[in-house]
Chains A and B, each alone.
Chain A
């Protein structure tokens, strides 16, 4: 728990947040050249106050406090409940130290196991995002620029329907399809392509397929929204000027859709890196994914402070990585949130 002096802080925070939101509403940036009524005038004072208070509470209790609580916890030692708040309960880097160097009592110099899992997770998530982009782009382009509206609605339905099924069930479905006596192995063996079943799960093929599929919808929607706003005449103009199809995609469509591509890739990357169901269900016995390790910190080792530290490391790495990529792509956050 927070130290006793921290408690008044908890109650002060919502007040501060309300004040901040109120000031934001008051001095809301005016749209250029467009005289707008203020936030209070637009919504009426009671509704405006309700909105500010509700958003402030939501922000504080759902987002800020839990995160702060986690960060704070990550700097504390693991202690039996009786000693919490006692003389041994001092802030420490122990948990972060553990991530890099392993247990203080172990012989190995570096915590290879966790570091490897961590880098692999980041790397695989990047691959998942890129792979997902490559897969989704043609479909999104087709829906946004080629297909007739009725066809688009039908395709959207086909895309969304599988997501009505719970994520874990979907992962199990993949496990069944990819298992050694599953549909795929049966088919290719019946076709005489192989005589031994392929170990899709042990080779992590099932994992990557499942991960790729799990967040494909996010990618398709991001791309679809971006490409849809491109004036079709631009594509025709490029074609009329003699551009082959790949040139039109590379130099007209993709630059135009860059914000959508960035937002789709960011979403898929973040969600893959933080995904738990797919690695737990589809991961092979030798597979090393970071989230199950993190999960184990909490629920197997009952080491909440260490789990918090791991979660914080993952979050920080993902956010910095995304910001770095956006920086390299000369995009800002506002643009991709459109």
Chain B
């Protein structure tokens, strides 16, 4: 399978500031690929470089095997969906969707047919004559997607397209986006700082931090087998205990931390003496105290969220340790202030370089 988009040692600098540092990636044909990272880590910059609005300082972008150097945004086989959508307010829904075709000189009859098809795809069949301002947030979103798809791009680039929507609509649009992507089979490159969004929609995720890529993998990989402390802490909730490795044996590492000595899987083969952080997911932390590794402290808070409850314990150095349990069993959590014991098994913990 050929790569739809190949990013080859890409560096982007603004003056002295390096926004993207030596990023190399291959994005496959028909893939739903996400960039996930905190605000300001360079996600938009990468997207703008792929679409041609930003020139690379170093490195090469190839789309469908072709070097994009010197090819303007209006000549690239990409379509960008902007963070604020950037629909044309003076045009109707149909005119917006048909704009790219009109620019290409497609005859009106063909254009109308294509626009109708796309209106159908986004379930707005009878609303082509509406003005943009008459649409709801989710409808605008879908029009922006249809407008981008109209020009039949090889790659669709989406810059946090759901960030302006409320929670319910966002969840609905996730499914919708994924469904549209499956139907049209176009490569989607999706940007988000919302890990839930990235995990639910993507085939693969690149986790970014300060301009470089920390890890690339599918959602499960990134969540269950983080390669770096940043990924472990950024993707999903995590309890982290930092200290020094004192013993390594049988694929496990022993880490001496402020809260005690814990064992965890030594996935990065750290040596004795290395600084390390041991991570335990809240859902793998047990509050009944069953496990080889034990943390004592005082009950602080039980945040009930319906399906789950987050139990927070204040450990002896007054840091918080969280255990997430199924909602119904939460009643057993003791009163705030009384002592509790959390525990986890060593196979559920991961030791990563700090």
State the B residues within 8 Å of A (CB). 51, 53, 72-75, 78-80, 82-84, 86-90, 99-100, 103-104, 147-148, 150-151
Contacts of B73 in A (CB 8 A): 236, 239-240
Looking at A8-16, A67-75, A189-197, A242-250, the stretch in contact with chain B turns out to be A242-250
Q: Give the number of residue pairs across the A-B interface with Cβ within 8 Å.
A: 57
B99 touches A238 (CB 8 A): yes
- Interface pairs A-B: 10 shortest CB-CB: A241-B100, A233-B86, A237-B86, A243-B103, A242-B74, A240-B80, A233-B82, A242-B103, A240-B73, A239-B74
Smallest CB separation, B120 vs chain A (Å) = 20
Question: Which chain B residues lie closer than 8 Å to A247 at the CB level?
Answer: 103
Contacts A231-B86, A233-B84, A237-B80: A242 and B53 contacting too (C-beta < 8 A)? no
In this complex, what residue of B is CB-closest to A255? Answer: B90
The complex places the Cα of A241 from the Cα of B152 at a distance, in Å, of 10
Interface positions of A (Cβ within 8 A of B): 231, 233-234, 236-244, 247, 252, 255-256
In the complex, the chain B residue whose C-beta lies closest to that of A238 is B99
* B74:A237 contact, CB within 8 angstroms: no
Residues of B within 8 A of A256 (CB): 89-90
Interface contacts beyond A236-B73, A242-B103, A247-B103: sample of 8 additional A-B pairs, CB < 8 Å, sorted by A:
A237-B88, A239-B73, A240-B53, A241-B79, A241-B103, A243-B103, A244-B74, A244-B103
Shortest C-beta distance, B279 to chain A (Å), equals 39
Q: What's the dominant secondary structure at chain A's contact region?
A: helix
Q: Give bound CA distance, A243 to B151, whole Å.
A: 11
* Interfacial chain A residues near B79, Cβ < 8 Å: 240-241
Q: Is the CB of B74 within 8 A of A243?
A: yes
- What separation, in Å, do the CA atoms of A142 and B315 have in the docked complex? 60
Q: In the docked arrangement, what's the CA distance between A243 and B53, Å?
A: 14
Give the Cβ gap from B163 to chain A, nearest Cβ, in Å. 14
Residues of A within 8 A of B74 (CB): 239-244
Most A CB atoms within 10 A — which of B51, B53, B99, B104?
Answer: B99
Chain B min CB distance to A189 (Å)? 45
**Given known A-B contacts A234-B88, A236-B73, A241 and B147 have beta carbons under 8 A apart:** yes
Interface centre among A233, A240, A252, A255 (most CB of B within 10 A): A240
